[in-house]
Chain A
Amino acid sequence: MKILVLDDEKIVGERLKASLEKDGHALETFINPVAALDRIREKAFDVVITDIRMDDMDGIQILEAVRKKAEKTKVIMITGYATLEVARESLTKGAFDFIAKPFKLKEIRGAIQKAEDALQAEKN
């Protein structure tokens, strides 16, 4: 699976890259939302994992941009400050999953597996 990870905490991207590449996924990690969005416009990803609260742009904007550019791409939102408003907005704007920090790797792995299953089901 081609996965883009966007989190302004570098440690999050590094941790996910180290683990998920071992599972056979191809990861690109970003800490800058603008750079990530440029990359999303250039390349089709199966899954985008994005933090919600960042300085230049929030994860909801990333979600909207991805839904516009590549409807099939599954967007997994992660957040350290889960509020009802953001949770509801993520749901209604079509996030595939929403994972609150602190998360365990198995949660991310589980969400990616479900995204893979959903993509496969859409193909068939």
Chain B
Amino acid sequence: MRILFAADENPYSADALLQVARLGENTWADITLLGVSSRSRTMDGKADALIKAYHQKLLGYFDSNTSPYFQVKPGAGGKGGIHKQIITRVRKGNPAKEILEEAKNQESDLIAVACSNKEDYAWEGAGNVPLKVARDAACSVLVIKEDKKINKVLCCLDHDNISQESLEMISQMVTLFKADLEIVVLKDSDDVQERIEKKLSWLINYYSARSIFPCIELVKLSHLETFISQQARWGLMAMWMGKKSILERVFPSNKVSRLLKANESSVLLLR
């Protein structure tokens, strides 16, 4: 897995760095730390210094004897396997565009970005960068909201078209945060009940076999926005936005933005 963590200078980014470190270490992911400076030359040094500081903080988080980001020391038991990378990058320009471009260049599997709790998926002083990244990225995006403890993962899936990748990414998040899982299965008004029940049963069996015991709720697509605004105040909202997903097929991008804004929790958009 390759994680791109795009950070600004605010405390929420520093806090989220620790979540990224945990995810990285749990999964042996390659990590890129990205800072974006505005076009003004006076900002260049600031972004460089920020990313260097985050790099040091990240390295300080890991134990050099048991982390894949360090050479395993003789006697530690390791036998010279692959060592994972932490790389730092600073780009100039529009933050959202630069983050998306870097993710594309790096072939990132996940973009992680933090945001303020005060505004809707925004970077303080830089507008709604996380929202734009979440909406427009080609890969999965994790938006970590400031001061939100993740006790529960609420996950919206199509009953008809659930990708293996989504199921697996959700398992990783539930494990990472030691959270409960609630699965919201989206249905169209003309869906056949029997087919839905079959899929639900399959989902319950899939997770039960992995010692994850989800609550499952059926929600009509037309009620999704209301449901999200009522339910998503705790934890992490995960939505599958793959090309074949209902959300991607029936929701224009401005509606996706609205859905995100209606939500108070951290968000994982699966692609």
Contact = CB atoms under 8 A, between A and B. Distances in A.
B22 A84 contact: yes
Contacts, number: 85
Contacts of A26: none
Given A91-B68, A98-B28, A82 B82 contact: no
A59 B77 CA distance: 17
Contact of B78 (A11, A94, A100): A94
Given A91-B81, A102-B169, A114-B82, A82 B68 contact: no
Contact of A94 (B25, B81, B169): B81
A99 B109 CA distance: 12
Interface in A75-124: 80-84, 87-88, 91-104, 106-107, 111, 114, 118
A31 to B, nearest CB: 13
Interface string A50-88: 000100000000000001000100100000111110011
Interface stretch (B85-93, B170-178, B186-194, B222-230): B170-178
A98 B77 contact: no
B165 A91 contact: no
Contacts of B67: 88, 91
B210 A102 contact: no
Given A80-B172, A82-B172, A93 B77 contact: yes
A101 B166 CA distance: 10
B77 A84 contact: no
Contact residues on A (Cβ < 8 Å of other chain), bracket:
20 to 34
B176 A82 contact: yes
Contact residues on B (Cβ < 8 Å of other chain), bracket:
20 to 34
Nearest to A115: B82
Interface string B43-78: 000000000000000000001011110001000111
Nearest to A79: B27
B118 to A, nearest CB: 32
Contact of A87 (B25, B65, B164, B210): B25
Nearest to A122: B80
A124 B132 CA distance: 51
Given A67-B79, A83-B175, A100-B29, 15 more contacts: A74-B81, A80-B172, A84-B25, A88-B66, A88-B67, A92-B76, A92-B77, A92-B78, A97-B28, A98-B28, A99-B1, A101-B172, A102-B164, A102-B169, A106-B107
Across the A-B interface, the 10 shortest Cβ-Cβ residue pairs: A100-B27, A102-B165, A94-B79, A101-B168, A98-B28, A82-B26, A96-B81, A102-B168, A88-B66, A92-B77
Interface of A: 11, 53, 67, 71, 74, 80-84, 87-88, 91-104, 106-107, 111, 114, 118
